[in-house]
Amino acid sequence: MRATQLFKTGDIRTVDVPQPVPGPGEILIKVEAAGICGTDRHLYHGEFPSVPGKTLGHEFSGLVVDSGDSGIAEGTRVTCDPNTWCGTCEQCQRGRVNLCTRNVATGIHRDGGFAEYCAFPASKAVALPDDLDPLQGAFCEPLACTLHGMDMGAARPGERVLVIGGGVIGLMAVQIARLAGAEVMLLTRSASKQALGRETGAHHAADSETGFREVWPQGADLVVECAGVRETIALAPRLARTGGRVVVLGVLPQGAEVSVEPFDLLFREVQMHFSFLNPFTHARAAQMISDGTISVAPLVSRTITLDEAAGAIAAPALPGEVRAIVVPGA
């Protein structure tokens, strides 16, 4: 079969590999759709730790073709929660499973979904409706991560929520904040993403701090940083109102540093939180996509073949692109 593997920093190729054989507790999935995440590009550039020689892809869904002893019916469409916590370390015992010291991340530590087939832990597969568009199943993982961050931010009805960044995470955060009853603004320089933000639930859109201040001069109750850029992470607490809060969902390269002013955060009592992975949110994300509570169809910018995946990961995202989806069967 074909699979897109990262052999070392800057060396990603789609190659022929043996079809995996599921081990104990695993199922075999025929991958239908896998999203290219910013983390995949961080991995390619050596900006995020990974195991060399693994198949990338942690946002994917597909059909079960070998259920092993799982009890999952073959032919079931599933979404794949990529994080397998150990359950026994101190963090897991505290319920902080996303901080597990022995977490095994599919697409980083073990072979992932940029392949025709993937052997996957049955316990981490979540069933999807038979009639769900396979492309939409690939959005469950990023939505699960977004839900964790938005749970931390806890937007309330009537609050003002600013979302910085018009990518997949940002546009999902817009929808979640709108569902919470908040007044929502999307901040992004991209005109096309501003329009998409309005389409998916934002009341306002701005392209700069100046544009933001024209609408909300006192700042936002909650600022959700989804861009993963030094400048926007530094900007986020400045745009929070006195007594407000910030949640950082964006991922910077390992080792990157950002300057903030503790005096300002102290005297305005601005809270800053950082959100990591998807603890106990994947099944909720799958349900919200399955029942249409969260709209993901507008977030598909393009579909590509498996043989095009390596080049797409090695290159920057196209202008205005929200999500490129790899379709191995195409």
Residue 253 phi, psi dihedral angles, 5° rounding: -60, 145
Domain that holds residue 250: 145-274
**Mean pLDDT score, 314-321:** 96
Confidence bin at 296 (pLDDT 50/70/90): very high
How many whole angstroms separate alpha carbon 302 and alpha carbon 33?
A: 12
Among residues 4, 39, 232, 281, the one annotated as catalytic is: 39
109 in catalytic set: no
Residue 27 has pLDDT above 90, yes or no: yes
The secondary structure element, H or E, covering residue 92 is helix 90-93
In 106-254, where does DSSP find H-type helix? 134-137, 140-153, 168-179, 191-199, 209-215, 230-239
Same domain, 151 and 258: yes
Residue 31 has pLDDT above 90, yes or no: yes
Confidence bin at 235 (pLDDT 50/70/90): very high
Same domain, 96 and 61: yes
Q: What is the CATH number of the domain that holds 202?
A: 3.40.50.720
Same domain, 45 and 108: yes
Task: Specify the DSSP class assigned to residue 70.
Answer: S
How many whole angstroms separate alpha carbon 233 and alpha carbon 248?
A: 7
Same domain, 114 and 209: no
Same domain, 152 and 255: yes
**Mean pLDDT score, 178-185:** 98
- Model confidence, pTM: 0.97
| Domain assignment of residue 241, yes or no | yes
Residue 330 has pLDDT above 90, yes or no: no
| Domain assignment of residue 40, yes or no | yes
CB 194 within 8 A of CB 186: yes
Of all residues in the chain, what percent carry a pLDDT higher than 70? 100
Give me the residue label for tokens 């195409």. Answer: 330
39 in catalytic set: yes
Query: What was the pLDDT predicted at 272?
Result: 97
Query: What was the pLDDT predicted at 170?
Result: 98
Residue 243 has pLDDT above 90, yes or no: yes
Same domain, 197 and 234: yes
Same domain, 49 and 163: no
**Mean pLDDT score, 165-186:** 98
Taking the CA atoms of residue 111, residue 117, residue 123 and residue 126 in that order, the dihedral angle to the nearest 10 degrees is 120
Beta strand extents in the chain (DSSP E only): 2-8, 11-16, 26-35, 54-55, 60-66, 77-80, 83-84, 104-105, 117-121, 125-127, 160-164, 183-187, 204-206, 220-225, 240-248, 271-274, 300-304, 323-326
Query: What was the pLDDT predicted at 92?
Result: 98
- What are 101-153's pLDDT values in tens digits? 999 999 999 999 999 999 999 999 999 999 999 999 999 999 999 999 999 99
Residue-averaged pLDDT of the chain: 97
- What are 201-232's pLDDT values in tens digits? 999 999 999 999 999 999 999 999 999 999 99
The tally of domains found in the chain comes to 2
**Mean pLDDT score, 90-103:** 97
**Mean pLDDT score, 39-47:** 95
Among residues 4, 14, 42, 281, the one annotated as catalytic is: 42
Same domain, 135 and 6: yes
Same domain, 42 and 68: yes
Same domain, 17 and 132: yes
| Domain assignment of residue 285, yes or no | no
